[in-house]
Amino acid sequence: MALVLLIGNKNYSSWSLRPWIAMKAAGIAFEERVISLDAADFKARVHEISATGKVPALADGEIHVWESLAILEYLAEKFPSAGLWPSEPGARAHARSVAAEMHAGFAALRSHLPMNVRRAVKPRAPTPEAANDIRRIEAMWTDCRTRFGSGGPFLFGAFGAADAMYAPVVSRMHTYAITLRAPARAYMEAVMSLPAWAEWRAAAAKEPWVLPHDEVD
């Protein structure tokens, strides 16, 4: 039975991008079901898999998993050859820590710079709180690349769960033309060069839905 991944609008749903891009990059086959976040029956449809009524949610037969990070952990266990977490214990612990920090934090960045894939790339000045989040993320990306990134262009060398957790932030930094130093910018370019990234963006461009709350202009 095929894995089923419920996701929201590709233009806006940052949480949905995380497991989707991880599965695509790892070559894990799945069926995607897109439900607009403003659909009248959104909760009812998502509740079939997600206890919270939120996306993303993964169904593996009778096994239901919700929350992006929990889905990534489940996939890492089910598909160990995908290498979603680093094999070295120290790097793996660090990757889990930065992934959890993303899952729980950066509220100011999320609020002020919502994900909007179709938006024309142009600057939006961050609030002081969002600027603090940006500085922390830039420092984190640079540190991960310096300490653990010798095996490839991503945070821990090869693309993995930590990169999937930060993919929506890459989108935000790009969309709002946030200025970053060279190491963080190079990391962004690596993520945006993935075929899965291009596939997501192409699909987002074709979506008919507009959610005013996320249209900051």
Measure Cα distances from 204 to 72, 91, 165, 187, 209 in Å: 22, 33, 19, 22, 10
99 contacts 91 by C-beta, under 8 angstroms: no
- Whether omega for the bond prior to residue 56 falls within 30 degrees of 0, making it cis, is yes
User: Is-contact 56 5, C-beta < 8 A?
Assistant: yes
What is the full per-residue pLDDT of the chain (217 aa) written as tens digits?
699 999 999 999 999 999 999 999 999 999 999 999 999 999 999 999 999 999 999 999 999 999 999 999 999 999 999 999 999 999 999 999 999 999 999 999 999 999 999 999 999 999 999 999 999 999 999 999 999 999 999 999 999 999 999 999 999 999 999 999 999 999 999 999 999 999 999 999 999 999 999 999 9
Pair 217, 119: CB distance under 8 Å: yes
Quick one: which of 49, 87, 84 has its CA closest to 69?
84
Token pair for 101:
């920090």
Task: For the chain, list the domains and their CATH numbers.
Answer: 3-82 (3.40.30.10), 89-199 (1.20.1050.10)
- At residue 143's C-alpha, the angle toward residues 78 and 169, to 5°, is 65
Helical packing angle, 161-175 and 89-104, nearest 10°: 40
pLDDT at 168: 98
* Neighbour count for residue 48 (Cβ, 10 Å): 12
Distance CA 56, CA 8 (A): 7
The rounded distance, in Å, linking the Cα atoms of 93 and 116 is 31
The whole-number pLDDT of residue 1 equals 65
Contact 31, 61 (CB under 8 A): no
CB neighbour burial string for 118-139, b if at least 16 within 10 angstroms, e if fewer: ebeeeebebeeebeebbeebbe
Residues in the chain: 217
Do 50 and 57 meet the contact criterion of CB atoms below 8 Å apart? yes
* Contact in structure between 56 and 6 (CB atoms under 8 Å): yes
